[in-house]
Amino acid sequence: MAERRVVITGLGAVTPLGVGVEQTWSALCRGESGVGPITRFEASEYDSRIAGEVKGFDPKDYIPAKDIKKMDTFIQYALAASIMAVEDARLKVDKAEVHRAGVLVGSGIGGLPAVERCHEAVLAGGPRKLTPFFIPMLIVNLAAGQISIRFGFKGPNYAIVTACATGNHCIGEAYRCIKRGDADVMVAGGTESVIISLAVGGFSAMKALSTRNDAPARASRPFDKGRDGFVMGEGAGIMILEDLEYARMRGAKIYAEIVGFGMSGDAYHIASPDPSGEGAMRSMNNCLEDAGVTPREVDYINAHGTSTPFGDKIETKAIKHVFGDHAYKLKISSTKSMIGHLLGAAGGVEAIVCALSIAREIVTPTINYENPDPDCDLDYVPNKALEMPVNLALSNSFGFGGTNATLLFKKFED
């Protein structure tokens, strides 16, 4: 039996640059920033007072009013992006086949805003003030659960939680679900919404966030010498993955093919990457080996590129180790320069960017790249999008706890 091929047929996104894939993509290509002052809470006493907040999202556009109160924002974003992706794919699964359609959508943190709100309610009025929806609002797998319920998909239904690598792990495992025959269709990606006092305060206490509060749009500057930390973002990135034969059968349009998935662990530190870059190297090498391609065949890398002083340097080191001289010919960019770090949703949105880079032959830029860093000396597509054919695009995501995940996307050839 020939190995099953897995293709991308639908995309959905909610990001700080817009509600919808086209709005987000066009802004990315223009090099716009979605970062601004925090409006969700009074942030004047916080070290970092900037974030990539989603604007203009109305859950009532996607979710019945009676159900909205059952979902924290990360679930609402995931459900909205899934509805967009299903519509984009024109996906209609026959009732006899719903057990062959599944959902694998995760979040790095989940319903922390619900925890904060409900804790305040208990302190103010006692346990009777708790909503019965408190637990279903906060647990991570309820994003996948609500998507499954919405569409009646009865195949694999679960969530992966690996901090900032969540989106890549979910898409990678969904790809494997289809390859090994557990499903024909998977809704996959990541979602996050934790721009609240508790989360911003926690990341600030770790000294992880940029404090360039006077210039929010210029704060996220991956690979630039002046980078001082990441900028928190929020949103969701969801893909429809299908077995190629299933997609062919229903005449689906195809954005790109997923051909590789690699993982590794640093076993080094709870929050800092291994200085040698060895974990990131193995993740990329494992992905290339899974795809059966050589490093020299890769055209573009959507980097993890968070804008932290240490992380960007280590990722650059790892890329040079894996790709050798070809590293200097690669185009590399960080979507986070424009939307901030979407944590568990980052990999989902960045996978969409890779698929569209292949389909539309445009590489989105790394904005705010002004001062070259001797330790980051590759081509990061500075400040302006680049039109070029992209046959193979690789996407890196690395998370707290030393967890690494890499995906490889390819131009579809029938």
| pLDDT tens-digit readout, 228-283 | 999 999 999 999 999 999 999 999 999 999 999 999 999 999 999 999 999 999 99
Return the pLDDT at 1: 58
Return the pLDDT at 367: 98
Q: Hey, which residues does 236 pair with through a beta bridge?
A: 14, 191
Across residues 166-182, what is the average pLDDT?
98
Per the CB < 8 A criterion, the answer to whether 398 and 273 are in contact is: yes
Nearest to 137 by CA among 107, 169, 101: 107
Instruction: Assign domain 260-410 to its CATH superfamily.
Output: Thiolase/Chalcone synthase (3.40.47.10)
Residue 236, C-beta contacts closer than 8 angstroms, at least 6 positions apart: 12, 13, 14, 74, 77, 78, 80, 81, 189, 190, 191, 192, 345, 348, 349
Ramachandran region of residue 30, left (φ > 0), alpha (ψ -120 to 50) or beta?
alpha
Instruction: Identify each DSSP E strand in 151-292 by its residue range.
Output: 157-158, 185-192, 235-243, 256-265
Residues 381-399: tens digit of each pLDDT? 999 999 999 999 999 999 9
Nearest to 43 by CA among 200, 207, 241, 228: 200
Tell me the C-alpha distance between 273 and 31, whole Å. 28
Amino acid at 211: T
Model-wide pTM > 0.95: yes
> In the chain, what percentage of residues exceed pLDDT 90?
99
CA neighbours closer than 13 Å in the CB half-sphere of residue 192: 33
Nearest to 280 by CA among 168, 161, 398: 398
Domain boundaries, the chain: 7-249, 260-410
Cα 69–chain centre separation: 25
- What is the fold of 7-249? Peroxisomal Thiolase; Chain A, domain 1 (3.40.47)
Return the pLDDT at 256: 98
| Mean model confidence pLDDT for the chain | 98
Return the pLDDT at 17: 98
CA angle 238, 227, 262 (to 5 degrees): 40
| Structural element, H or E, at residue 123 | helix 112-125
Return the pLDDT at 44: 97
3-state SS, residue 386: strand
Residues 352-382: tens digit of each pLDDT? 999 999 999 999 999 999 999 999 999 999 9
Residues 271-329: tens digit of each pLDDT? 999 999 999 999 999 999 999 999 999 999 999 999 999 999 999 999 999 999 999 99
Across residues 114-123, what is the average pLDDT?
96
- Kindly provide the b/e burial profile for residues 277-288, where b requires at least 16 CB atoms within 10 angstroms of the residue's own CB: bbbbbbbbbbbb
Q: Say if residue 3's pLDDT is above 90.
A: no
Tell me the C-alpha distance between 6 and 8, whole Å. 7
Q: Say if residue 18's pLDDT is above 80.
A: yes
Across residues 150-165, what is the average pLDDT?
98
Tell me the C-alpha distance between 18 and 113, whole Å. 22
Q: Say if residue 129's pLDDT is above 80.
A: yes
7-249 and 260-410 in the same fold: yes
CA neighbours closer than 13 Å in the CB half-sphere of residue 289: 9
Tell me the C-alpha distance between 199 and 209, whole Å. 11
Q: Is the dihedral of CA 311, 317, 318, 319 positive or negative?
A: positive
Residues 329-344: tens digit of each pLDDT? 999 999 999 999 999 9
Tell me the C-alpha distance between 22 and 319, whole Å. 30
Return the pLDDT at 307: 98
pLDDT tier at 67, thresholds 50, 70, 90: very high
Tell me the C-alpha distance between 151 and 93, whole Å. 9
Rg (CA), the chain: 20
Tell me the C-alpha distance between 89 and 87, whole Å. 5
User: Which positions are catalytic?
Assistant: 164, 304, 341
Across residues 179-206, what is the average pLDDT?
98
Tell me the C-alpha distance between 223 and 228, whole Å. 10
Return the pLDDT at 363: 98
pLDDT tier at 414, thresholds 50, 70, 90: confident
Nearest to 166 by CA among 405, 357, 410, 414: 405
